[in-house]
Amino acid sequence: MAHIPDGIVSVPVLVAGAVVSLGGLGMGLRRLTPERVPKVAVLAALFFVASLVHFPVGLTSVHLLLGGLAGVILGWAAFPAIAVGLILQAVLFGFGGLIVLGVNIANIALPAVLMGLLGRRFLARPTLAGIIAGGGAVAATALMVAVCLALSGREFLVGAKLLVFTYVPLMAVEAVFTAAVLGLLVKVKPEALEMSS
Amino acid sequence: MSVLALGSASPLDLPGQARPLLARLDPRSRVMAALVFAAAVVWCQSVAALLAALGLAAGLALLARLPWGTTMRRLLALEGFMLLTLATLPFTMGGPAVVHIAGIGLGVEGLHRALIIVLKANAVVLATLALIGAMELPALGHALARLGLPLRFVALFLFTVRYIEVLYRQYARLRLAMRARAFRPTACLHCWRSLGHLIGMLLVGTLERSERIHAAMRCRGFDGRFHLLDEHRPGRLDWGFGAVQAVSLLLLAALDVM
């Protein structure tokens, strides 16, 4: 449940999420120069499409968030790109509420950007970079969602703890996947990874 | 039918039929209406008011002529999302136990809280799908710009919407090619890797496509903004709709306070 629905999160958490999101969007938009708009948009579209692909894991299936990969390729510009994706998911599919949109954007985009930027430092070893960016971003998102729930009321504490465990399969798939894609990019299209400098 | 169309009536698809009432509203009115409705619902605390809100949302869904099957599937997915978080509430919130399962009492307060959250979440999603989801997305982008979002963000939004369609078609082609080679998604490393290669292929193709787009846009003097040429003005229908909504939400608030 990376997309929190409306009606759960308390007002202080809502405000904090909105502030973080606006800050991140500001940072991202400042780095989104006109010549980068088409590139960032096409990648945002790709991440949206990729999130429609369901990976079977055991009896259930997970869909990728790909935030870490977006962070590695786009840097801070990943923030508005992810925000667009989340807005679309909220209004088209009902994934996540409207009033909590700020919280949801913060929970997914902030770890994506930070872990992505961290992962970039290890691009010489794409597998390590993929594990840090892909697995790390999912882990941080899980933690932030759990903290948002726990701060909204003591009664959510147990549910929040359980929630973190449900992210473990996704963390594994996403780490493997991001590592594979980064390996491919380093080989096939290394210039794509210079974008956010 | 594209991945983004919720299936709602686009006027071109329905020759001879009147457009749904909501489709005749100014896109800005629809966005504002959805936000105000969601804020009101989040603020409400009583089951009676939230049931009424869910009723209002269902009314909006009828006005937008949302397709039943898809909408129900979306709402079911929402209950699935919330299940884990809400299922623990009856055990953790205390209050007198109503039901006993395996010797553990389900607290009445937790059940009450869970019910309230379910009602809120469903009401907001249903209203959002009706008011915004059934809108054409370029119209939504323009509405966001007119409501004051930075033009650069709106340009990003409009571009993204455009290329989701293109990439989804590309994805569907590749997926079909995999199926023609007897690929079935199961939980195994080979399968994960194949799906990984699929998305990797899309990514490389996409990056190359973005270079061509960039070149084409530069030829046309693109400066990071789309200029908005349409001049929508809220009409009588918008004011009327806004008034009806304001009255409904005031009644809702009154019901909630009572």
What is the pLDDT at residue A26?
Answer: 92
What is the pLDDT at residue B16?
Answer: 52
Tell me which DSSP letter residue B183 carries.
Answer: -
Among A115, A87, A96, A107, which Cα is nearest to A20's? A107
Pseudo-torsion of CA A11, A16, A20, A26, nearest 10°?
A: 70
Among B27, B4, B28, B9, which Cα is nearest to B19's? B9
**What are the pLDDT digits (tens) for B111-125?**
888 888 889 999 999
| A55 and chain B in contact, CB less than 8 A | yes
Grade residue B100 by pLDDT with cuts at 50, 70 and 90.
low
Grade residue B79 by pLDDT with cuts at 50, 70 and 90.
confident
Count Cβ atoms within 10 A of the Cβ of residue B46 and give its class: 0-12 exposed, 13-18 middle, 19 or more buried: middle
Cβ–Cβ < 8 Å for B4, B161: yes
Q: Which residue has the tokens 């780095």?
A: A31
Residue B29 pLDDT > 80, yes or no? yes
**What are the pLDDT digits (tens) for A172-189?**
888 988 888 888 888 887
Query: Pick the residue with more confidence: B96 or B42?
Result: B42
Residue A128 pLDDT > 80, yes or no? yes
**A39 vs B87, B164, B210: nearest CB:** B210
- What gap in Å lies between CA B57 and CA B55, rounded to an integer? 5
**B129 vs A42, A44, A94: nearest CB:** A94
**What are the pLDDT digits (tens) for B145-200?**
888 888 889 989 998 998 888 888 888 898 899 889 888 877 777 777 787 778 88
- What gap in Å lies between CA B86 and CA A99, rounded to an integer? 19
What is the pLDDT at residue B99?
Answer: 64
Contacts of A85 in chain B (CB under 8 A): 160
Mean pLDDT of chain A, nearest integer: 86
Contact check, Cβ <8 Å, A88/B4: yes
Among B176, B3, B190, B186, which Cα is nearest to A55's? B186
Query: Pick the residue with more confidence: B97 or B160?
Result: B160
Query: Mean pLDDT throughout A134-138?
Result: 92
**A41 vs B125, B156, B185: nearest CB:** B156
**For strand B97-101 and strand A54-57, is the pairing parallel, antiparallel, or unpaired?**
unpaired
Residue B130 pLDDT > 70, yes or no? yes
Contact check, Cβ <8 Å, A158/B164: no
Residue A153 pLDDT > 70, yes or no? yes
Domains in chain A, please, with CATH? 11-187 (1.10.1760.20)
Distance from CA of A91 to the nearest CA of B (A): 5
What is the pLDDT at residue A60?
Answer: 63
Query: Mean pLDDT throughout B27-41?
Result: 90
| A194 and chain B in contact, CB less than 8 A | no
Q: What percent of chain A has pLDDT over 70?
A: 94
**What are the pLDDT digits (tens) for A34-89?**
878 888 888 899 888 888 877 666 656 677 888 899 999 899 999 999 999 999 98
Contact check, Cβ <8 Å, B171/A49: yes
Query: Pick the residue with more confidence: B94 or A155?
Result: A155
| Chain B contacts in chain A segment 69-88 (CB below 8 A) | 80-81, 83-85, 87-88
- What gap in Å lies between CA B153 and CA A77, rounded to an integer? 11
Q: Structure pTM?
A: 0.87
| Chain B contacts in chain A segment 14-43 (CB below 8 A) | 25, 29, 32-35, 37-43
A151: its two tokens? 């701060």
Query: Mean pLDDT throughout A104-118?
Result: 93
What is the pLDDT at residue A58?
Answer: 62
**What are the pLDDT digits (tens) for B191-223?**
777 877 788 888 888 888 888 888 888 888 877
Residue A196 pLDDT > 50, yes or no? no
The least confident of A52-61, A130-139, B232-241 is: A52-61
Residue B133 pLDDT > 90, yes or no? no
Residue B11 pLDDT > 70, yes or no? no
What is the pLDDT at residue A197?
Answer: 44
Contacts of A34 in chain B (CB under 8 A): 152, 222-225
Contacts of A166 in chain B (CB under 8 A): 84
Contact check, Cβ <8 Å, A41/B160: yes
Contact check, Cβ <8 Å, A42/B167: yes
